[in-house]
Structure 1
Amino acid sequence: MSDTSARRYSTGAMIFHWLIAVLVIMNWQIVERAQDLEGPLRGEVMGYHKAWGIAILVLTVGRLLWRFTHKVPPLPSNLAGWEAALARTVHVIFYVLLIGLPLGGWLANSMTGRDIDFFGLFTIPPLPTGENEDLGGSIFDLHALGGTIFIYLIGLHILGALKHTFFDKNGGIFRMLPFGKVPG
């Protein structure tokens, strides 16, 4: 393994990262667009949001399994202590949200008596929670709040990657790409 590859994430980690990132941004945009719709069309669009959410959940479990079985490169040595702590904290919160948001959506759907159609391939049944419209609605509200927090954290993550790439010149974004310079 070259010195540069030891400072980069593995190919599998890169694939999981970028695939999940694209799906999260796409799913956020799907739900944003659905807010302006009504009736059956809104339900159809929200069906895609739910199906992609389950796909994100499955990919995140795969990503975590990959992470636990593959070495993660160390953070750049020129990070301030607060930057390293912030990076680790944001990554933990990302994983919590990548698992918690889809599970929360599934739980809220279950409590409001809805199953999840996975792109017409199969149906994901409600969790055995019993129906509780009020609690389901509250969970949907928390789900939306979590999604909003997630989007802001993604913005922070992107700004941090750009700062580390172009100002600190420590490799930043290139640690998660198969090209570009990752200095020692």
Structure 2
Amino acid sequence: MTTNTAAARRYSTGAMIFHWLIAILVIVNWRIAEAAEHAEMPAKAEIFADHKALGIAILVLTLGRLMWRWTHPVPPLPSTLKAWEAKLARFVHILFYVLLIGLPLGGWLANSLAGRAVEFFGMFTIPALPVGSNEELGKTIFDLHATGGEIFIYLIGLHILGALKHTFFDKNGGIFRMLPFGKVPG
């Protein structure tokens, strides 16, 4: 297969599965956090328990995705991209990985500082990190976690707009690079 085939310009099936699964879970987890913010106790704590568990699942899947990425070739960006578009795409993808790892770790750390373990959907308990107790620092980290989550949502919006622009205006394959169907031009 030459590097000019559509398959070489499309992400691997494993990368697609990781991408879409993580994307769906991130959106669901954002909506869970929003629901928890508007709930009263004890429902609020139960909803946040699901948010925390899903965050750990996202962390594990992200680490799996990174291992997949390091062992499977990534298709080159379309040659039609302007230099600033390519740089922005790379920067946003790096920020995605930072947030996909940093947000769950930050949430786990903040819970640990508050002396709380993370229940993984009633299947098992993820123990608190051995960091001691510091409620004030935990609250600060929770605030940073919330701000990071908001930034993440805006980046996702930017990512979606970019994929749509490249698909429908630039016609360079855009979203079809991350789907097993659709035209990815040469």
The two structures share one fold, judged by TM-score above 0.5: yes
Q: Deviations over 1:81-138 (max 9, x none)?
A: 0000000000000000000000000000000111000000000000000000000000
RMSD of Structure 2 on Structure 1 (CA): 0.6
Q: Among 67, 76, 79, which residue is 2:78 paired with?
A: 76
Note the 1:111-126 alignment, pairs <5 A: 111-126=113-128
Structure 2 CA distance, aligned partners of 1:159 and 1:61? 26
Q: Among 28, 32, 57, which residue is 2:59 paired with?
A: 57
Match of 1:98 in 2: 100
Q: Deviations over 1:31-50 (max 9, x none)?
A: 00111111111000000000
Match of 2:89 in 1: 87
Counterpart residue type for residue 158 of structure 2: L
2:164 counterpart of 1:165: no
SS in 1 for 2:42: helix
Counterpart residue type for residue 122 of structure 1: F
Structure 2 CA distance, aligned partners of 1:36 and 1:79? 42
Count matched residues: 184
Percent identical: 75
Alpha-carbon offset, residue 155 of structure 1: 0.1
TM-score with structure 1 setting the length: 0.99
Structure 1 CA distance, aligned partners of 2:32 and 2:38? 11
Q: Deviations over 1:61-95 (max 9, x none)?
A: 00000000000000000000000000000000000
TM-score with structure 2 setting the length: 0.98
Q: Which stretches in structure 1 are left out of the alignment for 5+ residues? A: none
Counterpart residue type for residue 119 of structure 1: F
Note the 1:128-167 alignment, pairs <5 A: 128-167=130-169
Moved over 2 A (4+): none
Match of 1:41 in 2: 43
